[in-house]
């Protein structure tokens, strides 16, 4: 049996200085779960939050990334409508230092969450607060 608390995207500021935030991204679709910590900025997170207002009315899809793809750590999220009022969120997580010789040593995870519009609204509010205060947690709860 799958429980709602097992399907989520969680973002938490774990470190900051005057220029950058280190955010821990954890995603689970109840079958697969992964975590990475990547650098982002409060401006970038605020921009993502603003794009999520009334999504998907304004934009067909939204893409956000933190860290560097095939670098030390990386997270990307793509939000897109899937019909019936539901929203898909495709998440990619990467962790561990990759080398020029053995890219397969890098841990990678890709998964999809299905969420309802009210979950996006709640996530937007939490993300906006997190970006403004440069601390805290934003939680996007998926649909079972």
Query: Quick one: what percent of the chain has pLDDT higher than 70?
Result: 91
Q: What pLDDT sits at residue 2?
A: 64
Our separate counts of H helices and E strands in the chain read: 2, 8
Specify whether the CB–CB gap between 143 and 119 falls below 8 A: yes
With a cut of 70, list the residues of the chain below it in pLDDT.
Answer: 1-4, 97-104
CA–CA distance, 24 with 83 (Å, rounded to integer): 30
pLDDT tens-place string over residues 83-100: 899 999 999 999 876 666
Indicate the pTM of the whole model.
0.92
CA–CA distance, 11 with 7 (Å, rounded to integer): 14
CA–CA distance, 60 with 62 (Å, rounded to integer): 7
Q: How does the average pLDDT of the chain come out, rounded?
A: 92
pLDDT tens-place string over residues 50-72: 999 988 887 789 999 999 888 88
All domains in the chain, ordered by first residue: 4-139 (3.30.2450)
């Amino acid at each position: 049996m799958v429980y709602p608390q097992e399907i989520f995207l969680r973002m938490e500021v774990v470190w900051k200085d005057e220029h950058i935030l280190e955010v821990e991204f954890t995603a689970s679709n109840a079958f697969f779960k992964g975590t990475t910590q990547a650098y982002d900025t409060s401006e970038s997170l605020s921009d993502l939050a603003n794009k999520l207002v009334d999504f998907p009315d304004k934009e067909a899809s939204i893409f956000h990334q933190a860290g560097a793809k095939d670098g030390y750590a990386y997270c990307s999220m793509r939000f897109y409508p899937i019909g019936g009022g539901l929203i898909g969120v495709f998440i990619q997580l990467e962790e561990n230092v990759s080398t020029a010789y053995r890219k397969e040593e890098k841990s990678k995870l890709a998964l999809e969450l299905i969420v309802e519009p009210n979950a996006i609204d709640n996530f937007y509010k939490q993300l906006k607060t997190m970006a403004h205060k440069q601390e805290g947690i934003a939680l996007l709860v998926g649909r079972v």
